[in-house]
Amino acid sequence: MEKMHFTRMDRGTDEDFQILKKVHEHTLKELPDRLFGLLRDLSKDTAYNITRYDHCLQSATRALRDGKDEEYVVVALLHDACETLAPFNHGEVIAAILKPFISRNNYWMLAQHGLFQTYFYAAHFGLDPNARDKFKSDPAYEQTVEFCAKYDEVSFDPAYKNEPLSTFEPMVRRVLSKQWTPP
């Protein structure tokens, strides 16, 4: 791989920054596979009746079978992909990664789904199950409530027949296909 020659960005040449562009384009091409790797890592989590990997497949399968659009299905697939990297804010982390590729409402849903999911278990920890209600005025509130109820909290069922990851791989690649542009 070519290297840039500068030691300070303010001294970079047009040629240097064309190399930088190629590096970013290559990184973008690899992003789906990196995310698939994060998903596969979730197969090590065996505390549930199914692995977190299977949970993600189940969430996406349910969304797909309900006729949700491709972007939504991809979001359902990847919603917990960063759980092992960021157990306290995994939704925010995956939302930040996907933000350039997805709608505002899907981004918000990803970022907030962790809090919204507590509706189903907060009482077991002495927490407020309605903490999500402070966001009722947000345009993505109802969508996030629906996601958690229909595709997240119910997707721990070992008897449910998931689609394999190969069903979703082309969708992920399409949703994440975008030209790199500087921030």
The full set of domains in the chain, from first to last, is 12-175 (1.10.3210.10)
pLDDT in tens, 76-94: 999 999 999 999 999 999 9
Q: What integer pLDDT is reported at residue 180 of this predicted model?
A: 65
pLDDT in tens, 42-69: 999 888 899 999 999 999 999 999 999 9
Token pair, residue 174, equals 């399409």
Specify the range with the lowest mean pLDDT, choosing from 4-8, 103-107, 135-139, 179-183.
Answer: 179-183
Say if residues 144 and 131 touch (Cβ distance below 8 Å).
Answer: no
DSSP-assigned letters across all residues of 19-74: HHHHHHHHHHHHHHHHHHHHHHHGGG--SSSS-HHHHHHHHHHHHHHTT--HHHHH
Higher pLDDT, 179 or 120: 120
Q: What integer pLDDT is reported at residue 181 of this predicted model?
A: 72
Q: How far apart are CA 117 and CA 80, in angstroms?
A: 12
b/e burial code for range 66-83 (CB count within 10 A of at least 16 → b): eebeebbbbbbbbbbbbb
Q: The pTM is what?
A: 0.93
Residue that is written with structure tokens 């990184």 in the block: 27
| Of 54, 39, 66, 67, the residue nearest 172 (C-alpha) | 39
